[in-house]
Every structure is written in structure tokens, then in C-alpha cells.
Amino acid sequence: MRYAQFVERVAGEGSRAWDIHYRARELATQGRDIIVLSVGDPDFDTPPAIVEAAYDSLKRGRTHYTSMVGIEPLREAIAERHRRITGRRVDAGAVVVMAGAQCGLFASMMCLAQPGDEVIVPEPMYVTYEAVVGASGARLVQVPLRCERGFHIDPDDVAAAITPRTRVILMNFPHNPTGAMITADELEGVAALCRRHDLWLISDEVYATLTYDGPHRSPAGLPGMGDRTVVVDSLSKSHAMTGWRLGWVVAPGELSYHLANVTQCLLYGCPPFVQDAALVALSREFEELEAMRAEFRRRRDRVAERVNRMPRVRCLTPEGSMFLMIDVRDSGLGSIEFADRLLDAEGVAVLPCDGFGPSGVGYLRLSLSASLDVLEDACDRIERFLGGLNR
């Protein structure tokens, strides 16, 4: 049987990057002692008040169709959150609620890019970006984030990649997988390019609340950027709600109308009981979230210290997000072989970054999504594995 070319456009190195994660999960179901550090899923419980809100909503019968773009109170709460972060006021009409940030990225790209266009993405990049751009039919243009710059974006590199076909820049800071942030000067440099070349900027801000060395900066708050910046966000990382699948797009101009049409044929709206819980999440302060951020910082500090004491590997201390990029190029193994052998020998699952882009070759992504005791155990196992390579 024949398939549409679409199936090829959403496949590729990015989709295969998860192979070791799936293998680790399978080994765990077989009874192997596996430490899974290959996915960014916070190991904290969703705050109880949010869970209770969903339960109460279910008991009230909130299980039927609702507005395809999201219930009005939730959209208003998201608009207010956007104002607090960016200083720019938007109304609820600019907000479209989606089934997670990934859905928001896909829908936004389908509305902004098409065959013949080019989309610039800094790399290493989150592995689904290749498929998101490919689904639109546009060409992915990768701009390196260099280790010697702390994986910070260089606006000059972005400028060199722009052509008359460039339509969109897609970026996420705090960055997955490197943990880098973006400085005010770097952000203004990218924004100036968007204004000069009349480009859209899709800003994936799912790690905006998980920063260690300074506040998150959103391009939507810069002069002249509000009408060309698409902000994609969710509750997955900020509130430990990955399985709830609740995200949103803050869309300028007529984009919200076009996103509503995509939502009509893709989702037909998100569950109202989940949206009711999301409204509670965005309307209250939770001590649990401050504790979660503090614990991620503690894990970051300890694991980075441990890795940098190990032979033949090293890492930069991330400025945000929940990942470390471990450089294994001096180990004598490629990152894919290193990850495979580490999983088989010691039962530690980390992602090889080859599928994240050329600048990820020779690196591993380790998620901090486990308790400090488990992370210490993982570091012991990695160190033991490295010791075995020297024999």
C-alpha cells in the first residue's frame, strides 16, 4: 500500500532519537533495574489542589464539548500570565488552548510555514522540531549553538542563515537540550532580525519557570515583536502536569482564528475538567512549585559536580530547564554507542544527542527527573562504566 509523503516528513533522526528510551522502558518491564533519565517528565506529583479541581469538575459533569479554543476564564488567566511575563497586554481572544505545547507548536507551524519556505531552528534542538517543520513542508535550516559560547545563540549566525525564503525562526529558551538561557542582547539581536526581514518568531517557553541564573526573557515583550511573536507554553513542566496535556498558544493578529480552524479538525477542544484544573493552576500560588524548582537546582548542582569529576567526560552547568548535556567525545565512543552500552552494562538510560542536530553529536542528554538519591546512583553507575572503558 502507498502512503502520503507526509509520513516521511515527520520521520527522521529526531524521531529515532527516542529508540533508546523505548528500549529502556521495555527492559524495565522485563524486570531489569533501569534508571530512566531519557525523558523530561518531572518526578513530582501535581499539586493536590489542582487534582481536586479536576475531580470536582468531573463530579459536576464537566465532561462534554466546550469551546474549541478553550473556556473563557482559562484564556483570561493565560492572557494575564502573559502580561506579567512580557509586560504586554493581550485579551483572551489571542489565546488558544491546546492539548499540550507540542500540539501548539504543530498547529502554529502549519499556519505559518509551507512548501518553499525556510524555518530557522538553533541546534541542538528538541527532537520533535524536525517533524514539526517537516509536516508543514518547509525546509529546516539549522543554526549551531556552540559549546564554546555556553550553547548561547549568536545572532550573527542567525543572520547568516536568513535568505529570501526564510519565514519563521523557532527557538526555545531556557533551552532543551542544552539548558542554556538567552541574554538580553542576544534576544534583541534575534528580534532585530525578525523586524528587519519581516519574520515570524515562534517562542517555545515551556521551561520559562525553571531557571537558575536569572529570569526568563520572552521576545513577545520587546518593541515591535508583539505582532510577530507566537508564544507556546504549557503546564507540563511548571506544574508537573505532563500527562494532563494542557498547553496554549498566545497568537498575534488573525493567527488565533486560523489556529481555531486547525483545532476544529485536530482536537475539537480540550476536556473541560482538565481546563478547570488548569484554571486553578494558573490562579493560585503553590508552595510545591517553589520546592520543585529548589530541588531541581540542588540536583543540577550535584550532578554537574559529579560529572565534571569523572574521567573523559564533562558538562556545562545548565542555566535553566531540567537537563544536562554531557560531552563524551573523549571517551573513545560515539554518543549512540556510549548510551547503548551504558544501558546494557549499568542500566542507565540517557539520550544520545545525535538526533538533536550536528552540534549534538558526541553528547548525551541526562534528565534531572529523578530523586537526588537515584541521580547519585546513576552517577555511580556512569563512573563505573567509564572505569571499565579504561581497562
Question: Does residue 28 form part of some domain?
Answer: yes
Q: Is the pLDDT of residue 44 over 70?
A: yes
Residues 353 and 243 grouped into a single domain = no
Domain boundary among 252, 268, 283: 283
Q: Cβ neighbours of residue 51 under 8 Å, at least 6 residues apart? A: 277
Question: Does residue 1 form part of some domain?
Answer: no
Name the amino acid, one letter, at 195.
R
Residue 13 confidence (pLDDT): 66
Question: Does residue 369 form part of some domain?
Answer: yes
pLDDT tens readout for residues 128-180: 999 999 999 999 999 999 999 999 999 999 999 999 999 999 999 999 999 99
Residues 260 and 360 grouped into a single domain = no
Can you give the residue range of the structural domain that contains 122? Answer: 48-283
Strands 229-234 and 35-36: unpaired
> E strands along 312-390, which residues?
314-315, 323-327, 348-349, 351-352, 363-367
- Copy the grid coordinates of residue 371: 530523586
pLDDT tens readout for residues 305-363: 999 999 999 999 999 999 999 999 999 999 999 999 999 999 999 999 998 999 999 99
Name the amino acid, one letter, at 209.
T
Residues 269 and 314 grouped into a single domain = no
Residues 276 and 132 grouped into a single domain = yes
Name the amino acid, one letter, at 86.
T
Residue 332 confidence (pLDDT): 93
Residues 277 and 354 grouped into a single domain = no
pLDDT tens readout for residues 242-273: 999 999 999 998 999 999 999 999 999 999 99
- Helix (H) / strand (E) containing 247: strand 247-250
Residues 109 and 202 grouped into a single domain = yes
Distances in Å between the Cα of 309 and the Cα atoms of 40, 175, 382, 383 are 24, 24, 12, 9
Question: Does residue 259 form part of some domain?
Answer: yes
Tell me what the pLDDT averaged over the chain comes to: 94
Residue 7 confidence (pLDDT): 84
pLDDT tens readout for residues 99-110: 999 999 999 999
Q: Into how many domains does the chain fold?
A: 2
Query: Which contacts (CB < 8 Å, 24+ apart) does range 223-226 have?
Result: 224/191, 224/195, 225/191, 225/194, 225/195, 225/201, 226/86, 226/88, 226/90, 226/252
First vs last Cα of the chain: how many Å apart? Answer: 51
Question: Does residue 88 form part of some domain?
Answer: yes
Residues 101 and 200 grouped into a single domain = yes
CATH number, domain containing residue 94:
3.40.640.10
Q: Highest mean pLDDT: which of 84-93, 124-133, 193-202?
A: 193-202
CA distance 142 to 144: 6
Residues 152 and 268 grouped into a single domain = yes
Residues 123 and 215 grouped into a single domain = yes
Chain Cα centroid distance, residue 338: 24
Share above pLDDT 70 across residues of the chain, in percent, rounded to a whole number: 98
CA distance 216 to 207: 9
Residue 8 confidence (pLDDT): 83
Residues 182 and 247 grouped into a single domain = yes
Residues 359 and 254 grouped into a single domain = no
Residues 105 and 236 grouped into a single domain = yes
Average of per-residue pLDDT across 205-214: 92
Q: Is the pLDDT of residue 218 over 80?
A: yes
Domain boundary among 253, 283, 313: 283
CATH number, domain containing residue 315:
3.90.1150.10
CA distance 28 to 108: 36
Question: Does residue 310 form part of some domain?
Answer: yes
Domain boundary among 254, 283, 312: 283
The predicted model scores a pTM of 0.94
